[in-house]
Amino acid sequence: MTTVKIKRLGHLGDGIADGPIYVPATLPGEVVSGTLDGEHLRDPKIDTPSDHRVKAPCSHAKSCGGCQLQHASDAFVSDWKRDVVRQALAAHGIAVDLGDPIISPPRSRRRATFSVKRTKKGALAGFHMKASDTIIAVPNCQLVHSDLTAALPMVEALGVLGASRKGELSVLVTRTDTGLDVAVNGGKEMDVALHQALSDLAREYDLARIAWDGEIALQRRAPVLRLGSADLTPPPGAFLQATQEGETALVEAVKQALTGAKRVADLFAGCGTFALPLAKDAMVHAVEGDHDMVNALDHAWRNAEGLKRVTHEVRDLFRNPLLPDELAKFDAAVIDPPRAGAAAQVAEIAQAGIPRIAHVSCSPATFARDTATLIRAGYDVEWIKVVDQFRWSTHVELVALLRRDN
């Protein structure tokens, strides 16, 4: 047996002792013992627990790979996520006061991707075990909305219908205002018999829509989400914020940052998470690389009432960012890139000198890198709000207001 003391948490949520030695499900200050296997301590036993250790609220926590931090108190996780942002900023010489993170409540995830495999007696649906391809059932999951856990029998029925004996289906289930929207990937080739079976299943479980390997197989009614005063029907599998509470926090922060703006560029706009609410008070130009998401955004805007003009453009902002002369007509911008950040686009924004920027990010590291570029161009960071939308995970989101006086 090897005994170690945990010094800190790594970016994947594992405890790290001197060595380094990585120990899952541990907290700083804990003394743990186990079998050393290279850099990992296997089958750890907690000899001296942290004051921040709590009983995991979910009965599946020990085996399920869906959460990493259920053994830690909410206060510890909030402080740790705030420190992740602080350290990322410090690496670029940036210091900003950070308030308490806004946390999504338990059982609030409105979308989840379940895995399902056929068995001798039917099918098994759930999440993968930690560091494993094995699927475990998660009927008592404390992360996703109860409508999603109630849908697990439907997911298993999809496995019976559409999975091969050796294959695995990936089933994305999204809770919308008009019912569940289901997107299946990795299934059998669609034929008449499968389509009829899916139609029967959709009626039995009152599904709004089923997509099969990227194509809409059937739609009983449009799956609708409310964005501001617009009703959005997203394309199958499109990016959406994971929780309503997280989306609300991000949107309200962006609106606060851009109060009074009249002409806004929404870059990496997706389906309009920010563009549509902002259009109540400002003209918005939405730029997104996915054609289907732009079409969904445009359709939602055209069918809404009381919104100012929303123009749109399909454009790969990594390879073809908006240039300073294109950005010059805007008095504000919101930018919400994927985890890789937006180095090319931020460089052009820095040259353009847009007075205000609401920067949304799901990666503190790339956020800090891109923010450093803007600071060198004369911007000041007025505030940063940390949003813990992915409860019990290591993911961190944030919104910042950057301002430059020209």
Encode 100-131: b = buried (16+ Cβ within 10 Å), e = exposed. ebbbbeebbbbbbebbbbbeeeebbbbbbbbe
Distance, in Å, from the CA atom of 331 to the CA atom of 261, rounded to the nearest integer, reads 6
For the chain, how many residues are written?
A: 406
Taking the C-alpha atoms of residue 383 and residue 372, their distance in angstroms, rounded to an integer, is 14
**For 103-178, where are the alpha helices, taking DSSP H only?**
146-149, 152-162
Residue 26 and residue 86: Cα distance in Å, rounded?
22
- Bond from prior residue into 324 cis (ω within 30 degrees of 0): no
* Range list of H helices, 47-191: 74-90, 146-149, 152-162
> Which residues have C-beta within 8 Å of that of residue 67, sequence separation ≥ 6?
58, 61, 143, 391, 392, 393
Read off the tokens for 269.
């706009």
Q: Is 271 a catalytic residue?
A: no
Q: Which residues pair with 42 in a beta bridge?
A: 35
Q: What is the largest CA-CA distance in the chain?
A: 69
- Tell me which residues are annotated as active site: 362
